[in-house]
Structure 1
Amino acid sequence: MQKKILLVGESWTSTSVHVKGFDQFATATWHNGATDFMAALADSDYAITYMPAHAAATDFPLTLDGLKQWDAIILSDIGANTLLLHPDTWLKSQRTANRLTLIHDYVAAGGALMMIGGYFSFQGINGGARYRNTAVEKVLPVRCLAWDDRIETPEGSYPNVTESHALFSGMPDEWPWLLGYNEVEMHPEGKLLATVAGTGHPLLAVREYQQGRSLVWTSDMSAHWLPQEFAQWPGYRQLWINCLDWLTVRH
């Protein structure tokens, strides 16, 4: 039986104004950043349900039982505000569940959480992802910085494996380059498995928290930080499978 994984985030809408001499018009485009990830895991032991960022505001579970239906939850490029500000709270001033607290309780009770980097992961662009000092941060193997944590490496940066671990089982020795990541600090209870070469900054880390597990990959799952050279690399699929295998082990 396939294990059930909830992937939340990895979508955005952009608007453009096109000026042609005297005239102008506007367009809107919806973008899906999960295409490569979903394709890589389509034929695997994991059934991935994709919840785009705009849907998460209303559709992300509001109860602990709702979260417990999932073997693991992945937060990727979705800020804390989307989970904190349900439309009933934002538009109607009604009380709703704190879904960051629910995620904490889900992990503490035996669930699994992966956070993948991006402009709205960890602390994010202009500090706007806002996971620092939240209940979600409490379960992570890393701590978020208090400011814009993006590190852009347009020249390319490489993963540096620092410790042998099951997460690297079946992985090629040579890794492709990345174009950026979120800078974080290790939590004392976290286990550092890979850094960004030449920096010491955490790239891949894990933690056992109470009855559950957490894992972070501080670069992206897709463009622009993760280029097609990485997405087409044979290790791309194996990396995510290994991450989910480790997260969903039940003692």
Structure 2
Amino acid sequence: MKPVLLAGETFHVTSFASKGAEVGAFSRYSNGATHYIEALARENIAVVQIGGERCEAEFPTSLEALAAYSVVVISDVGALSLLYTPETRAGRRSINRLELLREWTAKGGGLMMAGGYTCFQGIDGAALFHGTAVEDCLPIEIGAGPDGLEAPEGLDPVIDRPEHPTLHGLDAPMPFVLGMNKVHVRRESEGETLISCRYRDLNLPLLSVRHYHQGRSLAWMTDIGPHWLSQDFMQWNGYDRLMANMVRWLAREI
């Protein structure tokens, strides 16, 4: 299998400490995908990561460049980070990378979007994938407003399609999650929900898949790492297999 391209999952945290008249500033850099990348490595799947702060300059801008990858995973990075290019900043025409991803998927690529504060429409509505070409090829529909759901009480996944290849070899029950993005189910001919979570009077899709022209797409509506993905889930012996199964299904290896 060719490598997986992971876009996003990095962030800087800047904090200020005030002690009377003295104010100190501190910054740290975090990568939320470390456990995910290690899990895929244990399954013999290589990952090339482009952190969110590097997407503007480094994310592929052609079908030829995307052809180096079996699967593209967009995780916790918003639409603007993919739309902006160095040419855009300079006031010149450039490529629309969301349209590029739709075309690449339609021609046989495998596209995955994972959840988080800055994916789908986002916790505060700023991820902005609603109404884009990427949404067109996903197995779910994204609402126009904020879609982040915090659930400190835990949401228990319910497997709706245990026969699907992405769920083969997993031990039940699947551990709880602590939050997710609330999205809308497409009609059955355009998407299939494999796992859902019950929240109040709603059945929310957690994992959905779709055949899109010659390609495939997958939406995982919670994190691939903490905090929405609970410690119980990350330590579950099915975590590695589930993450690898998603990638292998998208790459047509299962």
TM-score by length of 2: 0.95
**1:141 matched to 2:144:** no
**1:229 matched to 2:229:** no
Amino acid at match of 1:153: A
Work out the CA distance in 2 between the residues paired with 1:25 and 1:151: 33
Give the alignment's Cα RMSD to 1 decimal: 1.3
**1:88 matched to 2:87:** yes
Shift of 1:51: 1.0
Work out the CA distance in 1 between the residues paired with 2:36 and 2:29: 18
Shift of 1:5: 0.6
Work out the CA distance in 1 between the residues paired with 2:231 and 2:35: 9
Shift of 1:227: 2.0
Q: Which residue of 2 aligns with 1:77?
A: 76
Q: Which residue of 2 aligns with 1:171?
A: 170
Work out the CA distance in 1 between the residues paired with 2:111 and 2:44: 17
**1:112 matched to 2:110:** yes
Q: Which residue of 1 aligns with 2:42?
A: 43
Shift of 1:42: 1.5
Work out the CA distance in 1 between the residues paired with 2:63 and 2:173: 41
Shift of 1:250: 6.7
Identity percentage of aligned residues: 40
Work out the CA distance in 2 between the residues paired with 1:238 and 1:3: 18
Amino acid at match of 2:112: M
Larger mean CA deviation between 31-40 and 195-204 belongs to 195-204
Shift of 1:27: 1.1
Larger mean CA deviation between 190-199 and 57-66 belongs to 190-199
Shift of 1:45: 3.2
What number of residue pairs does the alignment pair up? 249
Shift of 1:158: 1.0
Work out the CA distance in 2 between the residues paired with 1:166 and 1:250: 10
Q: Superposed, which structure 2 residues align to 1:155-234 within 5 Å?
A: 155-164=153-162, 165-188=164-187, 189-198=190-199, 199-234=202-237
Shift of 1:44: 2.1
Work out the CA distance in 2 between the residues paired with 1:43 and 1:194: 24
Do the aligned partners of 1:3 and 1:45 also contact (CA within 8 Å) in 2? no
Larger mean CA deviation between 105-114 and 38-47 belongs to 38-47
Do the aligned partners of 1:18 and 1:26 also contact (CA within 8 Å) in 2? yes
Shift of 1:88: 2.3
Shift of 1:61: 0.6
Work out the CA distance in 2 between the residues paired with 1:126 and 1:170: 36
After TM superposition, where is structure 1 displaced by more than 2 Å over at least 4 residues in a row?
A: none
Unpaired stretches in structure 1, ≥5 consecutive residues? none
Work out the CA distance in 2 between the residues paired with 1:126 and 1:50: 25
Work out the CA distance in 2 between the residues paired with 1:20 and 1:73: 46
Shift of 1:228: 1.9
Tell me the secondary structure at the aligned position of residue 219 of structure 2. strand
Work out the CA distance in 2 between the residues paired with 1:133 and 1:190: 17
Amino acid at match of 2:15: S
